[in-house]
């Protein structure tokens, strides 16, 4: 049976260092270095938000070769001085082929990806942009039984809710139904075409808000 849940939140930044510094400032915890995405020319750092949920800081890897295709999460459009922001989110599904086929919002093609010992399949638009300006999630399906969050240290952070503001709330609501999504996501209308994401996260220092106020 098809089911889908939040897998991780995506913070993009002009550099991995600036993204990690922002997370430290807002949440009071230091992201753990993740690794390199050779095919995408990016690298990341991670914070555990649950047993099978995490936050990812991702940036262009200045030491990597330029990829032959557009980088994911709109990263080709980011300047090295771009401030960190909660740009989008990723949904884990039990059947990525079925979920992508049902989706009324184009989520991109399904690509095979690897990082170190991890392998997964993920939807990536050909132009590398994020669907609905980040309001619509990417889909992911991990290979194997272990989730990467299980290998991260528990730093006492937990996602309480993800609030998404977009002008076409009905399209978002329909999309989540189509992928059989269940999770702490709140949708509300926005007047402009921009998508705003806000993650409310419980931390050892108390509740914190990541993203637009």
The model's pLDDT over 131-145, given as tens digits with 9 standing for 90+, comes to 999 999 999 999 987
The model's pLDDT over 23-49, given as tens digits with 9 standing for 90+, comes to 999 999 999 999 999 999 999 999 999
- Residue-range domains of the chain with CATH: 4-211 (3.10.180)
Query: Other CB atoms closer than 10 Å to residue 169's CB: what's the count?
Result: 15
Nearest to 85 by CA among 184, 13, 191, 170: 13
Asked if the model's pLDDT at residue 86 lies above 70, the reply is yes
pLDDT in the model for residue 213: 61
Asked if the model's pLDDT at residue 191 lies above 90, the reply is no
Asked if the model's pLDDT at residue 18 lies above 80, the reply is yes
Pairing relationship of beta strands 158-166 and 196-203 according to DSSP bridges: antiparallel
The model's pLDDT over 96-122, given as tens digits with 9 standing for 90+, comes to 999 999 999 999 999 999 888 899 999
Q: Which residue has the higher pLDDT, 212 or 44?
A: 44
* Cα 7–chain centre separation: 8
- Alpha carbons 174 and 206: distance in angstroms, whole number: 34
| Mean pLDDT value across residues 169-194 | 91
């Amino acid at each position: 049976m098809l089911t889908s849940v939040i897998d991780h939140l995506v913070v993009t930044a002009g550099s991995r260092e600036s993204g990690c510094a922002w997370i430290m400032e807002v949440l009071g915890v230091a992201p753990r270095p993740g690794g390199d995405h050779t095919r995408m020319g990016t690298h990341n750092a991670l914070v555990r938000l649950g047993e099978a949920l995490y936050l990812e800081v991702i940036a262009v890897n200045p030491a990597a070769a330029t990829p032959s295709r557009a980088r994911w999460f709109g990263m080709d459009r980011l300047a090295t001085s771009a401030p960190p922001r909660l740009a989008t989110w990723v949904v884990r599904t039990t059947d990525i082929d079925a979920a992508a086929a049902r989706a009324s919002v184009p989520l991109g093609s399904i690509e095979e990806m690897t990082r170190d010992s991890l392998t997964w399949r993920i939807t990536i638009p050909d132009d590398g942009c994020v669907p609905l300006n980040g309001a619509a999630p990417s889909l992911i399906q991990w290979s194997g039984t272990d989730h990467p969050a299980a290998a991260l240290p528990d730093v006492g952070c937990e996602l309480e809710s993800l609030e998404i503001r977009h002008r076409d709330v009905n399209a978002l609501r329909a999309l989540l139904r189509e992928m059989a999504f269940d999770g702490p996501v709140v949708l509300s209308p926005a007047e402009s075409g921009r998508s705003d994401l806000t993650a409310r996260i419980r931390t050892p220092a108390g509740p914190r808000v990541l993203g637009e106020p």
